[in-house]
Structure 1
Amino acid sequence: MSGTPVSTIRNLGPAFQAECTRAGIPDAETLRSLGAHEAYRRLLAAGTRPHFIGYFVLHMALQGRPWNDCRGAEKTALRAQFDALRAEARPAPEDAFLARLDEIGVIAPRRPETDG
């Protein structure tokens, strides 16, 4: 039996529901239990492009508040949390470059180092 669709939460529509499904968040109950920050972390890991408005809308939605209710110090605090999450989710440029080279077969896989 599946849970309540994510799109039943105020301000979250079918497109957001599809993103959640792709990130392994199948229903509203799972989304609520994860909380906005952890759910957004999973969305980023699944390939969702980071967008601050989506982050704070998710916070407001899970609180049952209108999306545009986020202002002042609360919005500033959420921005700091979003920026930290985004930096954490983004691989270092060197790691991303090496991963891409490996993906297209330009470099050989790394072998574990041994102690001689």
Structure 2
Amino acid sequence: MSDAPVSTLPGIGPVTRGRLEEAGIRTVSDLRAIGSVAAYRRLKFMLPRQVSLNALYGLEAALRGYHWLDLPQDVKTALQREARLVEKGLPKRPASRCTIA
């Protein structure tokens, strides 16, 4: 395990680093301990509209040490299934306007 900042992983830029830190994931060890799907779940809960499937690809690829475009298709397919499960578990947002007459 590594106490290196999560930003030392490939593909983790300043925006993702900031979001991960806000989610309590500060080091490579933190991210490895919870894994890409749990980290994605935290980020998606915090910022549902800003965090996309590409974030999950990026987190998984960073843990593997390469660019998300290089993830094998079977890994992407598995991550897509996980992302759908995360989406189902997110709280439903209230209507943007009051519906009481």
Residue 81 (structure 1) aligned with residue 82 (structure 2): yes
Corresponding residue number in structure 2 for 1:47? 47
Is contact 1:19–1:43 with CA below 8 Å preserved after alignment?
yes
In structure 1, the partner of 2:67 is: 66
1:74 and 1:24 map into 2 onto residues whose CA distance is: 25
Quick one: structure 1 residues 97 and 36, their matched pair in 2 at CA, closer, same or farther if it must change by over 3 Å? Answer: same
User: Where do 1:1-116 residues align within 5 Å?
Assistant: 3-47=3-47, 49-89=50-90, 91-92=91-92, 96-97=93-94
Percent of pairs with identical residues:
31
Q: How many residues align?
A: 95
Structure number with greater CO (CA < 8 Å, separation at least 6) is: 2
Query: 2:75 is aligned with what amino acid?
Result: E
Whole-angstrom CA distance in 2 between matches of 1:32 and 1:72: 22
Q: Give ranges in structure 1 of 5+ residues lacking alignment.
A: 107-116
Cα deviation digits, residues 44-102 of structure 1 (max 9, x gap): 2222533011111111111112221124232222111111112212x23xxx328x87x
Q: Take 2:15 and 2:85, find their aligned partners in 1: how far apart are those partners?
A: 25
Q: List, as ranges, runs of 4+ consecutive aligned residues in structure 1 with deviation greater than 4 Å.
A: none
Instruction: Find the counterpart in structure 2 of residue 114 from structure 1.
Output: none
Superposition TM-score, scaled by structure 2 size: 0.78
Larger Rg: 1
Pairwise CA RMSD of aligned residues? Answer: 2.2
CA displacement at 1:36 relative to structure 2: 0.4
